[in-house]
Structure formats: structure tokens, C-alpha cells
């Protein structure tokens, strides 16, 4: 009989304080590939599971720089290369006139890159996730708090991980099928 691959091991907690403590102990125990699910944002939880980096600001900065360069070079090309007009003795490359469009293109590209960067880095849209296979996970959007240790973690061992999660005093521990 073929057994489905396991996505990880999930523990359910009643309070955010219990989840934070469990996440802290799990990370200190050497599990690095873990995630938590809560019905509302819990302050400090991301730091306890080892999430310290955020790439969205870098994506927005790069988008803004690309937008500013696009706006400026587009105007330069139109004014000095493709369709040069001598109006009132102004030079073809009149950079002070280019500032407004350059600024607007910077804001436009930064905003668009923020939206698409956030979606891409969060892996969205995600209509299916393996944690939906656990029946008790329906409570995650109401009043329960969940901690998942992924099976791809280096330290993951089904029996040892289950025993460790049960030592954290959760409401329940479940396997998460893929």
C-alpha cells in the first residue's frame, strides 16, 4: 500500500502566548523550516520562527530606480534624439523639464513593483495549500493557532518531531499530508 508523502507535522494551540512560546522552543530546538498560522497578526511571532528578512523594500527600490531611469531616458530620447525641436533657444536636453515625469514614473514603477513583488514573494495566489487537508485547520481563521514543522526540515523525523511537538502541550498534533 502506497502512503501519501507528508508535508509536515502540525500542532494546534489555544492562545497566541502558547503559540509564541512553542515557536520559540521549536526554533531553539533546531527546527528551521517552520511556519505558523493565526486568525490575526501576532506581534513578535515572525521573529520567533526566524523570519528576519524582507525583500519587498529591495524590489520597490529597484522598481523605483527602473521607473525613474525609464521616465528620464524616454524624455531624453524624444527631445534630443528622435524628434529634436529648437523651441525658444532651449537646449534639446533640458533636464529641469524632465523632473516631473521622471518623478511620476518612479512612483508608478515603485508602486507596481511593490504589488507584484509582494504577490510573488508570498507565493500568491495560492488556491490550495496542504494544511487545508487537516480537518481542524478550519479553526485557524476563528480562534486557533497552528505551528507546522515542514518535512523538508533537516532535523525532521516523524516520530521525534511528533514527540517534540507533544512536549509543547498543544491541543492536538496532526500529520499534514501533501
Q: Within 13 Å, how many C-alpha atoms sit on residue 167's CB side?
A: 9
The secondary structure of 106-158 as a DSSP string is HHHHHHHHHHHHHHHHTT---S--GGGGSGGGGGGGTT-EEEEEETTSTT--H
Question: What pLDDT shows up at residue 88?
Answer: 83
Each domain of the chain, given as residue ranges in start order, spans 6-52+129-177, 56-121
Rounded CA-CA distance 70/82 in Å is 16
20 Cβ contact list (under 8 Å, min separation 6): 42, 44, 45, 48
From residue 116, give the alpha-carbon distance in Å to each of 39, 113, 123, 127: 25, 5, 10, 17
Q: Which helix (H) or strand (E) holds 160?
A: helix 158-167
The segments of the chain whose pLDDT lies below 50 read none
pLDDT at 159: 94
CATH of domain 6-52+129-177: 3.30.70
Q: Can you spell out the DSSP letters for 3-68?
A: PPPEEEEEEEESSHHHHHHHHHHHHHTT--SEEEE-SS--TTHHHHTT-----HHHHHHHHHHHHH
pLDDT of residue 1: 55
Residues 118-156 pLDDT 10s: 999 988 998 889 999 999 999 998 999 999 999 999 999
Place of cell 523550516: 33
- What's the confidence (pLDDT) of residue 105? 98
CB-CB contact of 137 with 146 (8 Å): yes
Amino acid at each position: 500500500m502506497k502512503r501519501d508523502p507528508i508535508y509536515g507535522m502540525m500542532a494546534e494551540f489555544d492562545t497566541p502566548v502558547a503559540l509564541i512560546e512553542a515557536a520559540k522552543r521549536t526554533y531553539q530546538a533546531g527546527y528551521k523550516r517552520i511556519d505558523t498560522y493565526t486568525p490575526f497578526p501576532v506581534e513578535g511571532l515572525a521573529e520567533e520562527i526566524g523570519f528576519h528578512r524582507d525583500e519587498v523594500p529591495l524590489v520597490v527600490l529597484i522598481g523605483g530606480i527602473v521607473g525613474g531611469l525609464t521616465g528620464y531616458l524616454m524624455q531624453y530620447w524624444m527631445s534630443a534624439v528622435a524628434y529634436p525641436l529648437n523651441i525658444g533657444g532651449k537646449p534639446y536636453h533640458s533636464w529641469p523639464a524632465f523632473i516631473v515625469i521622471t518623478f511620476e514614473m518612479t512612483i508608478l514603477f515603485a508602486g507596481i513593483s511593490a504589488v507584484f513583488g509582494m504577490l510573488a514573494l508570498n507565493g500568491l495566489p495560492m488556491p490550495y495549500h496542504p494544511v487545508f487537508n487537516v480537518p481542524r485547520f478550519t479553526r485557524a481563521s476563528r480562534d486557533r493557532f497552528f505551528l507546522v514543522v515542514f518535512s523538508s526540515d533537516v532535523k525532521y523525523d516523524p516520530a521525534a518531531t511528533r514527540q517534540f511537538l507533544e512536549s509543547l502541550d498543544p491541543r492536538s498534533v496532526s500529520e499534514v499530508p501533501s
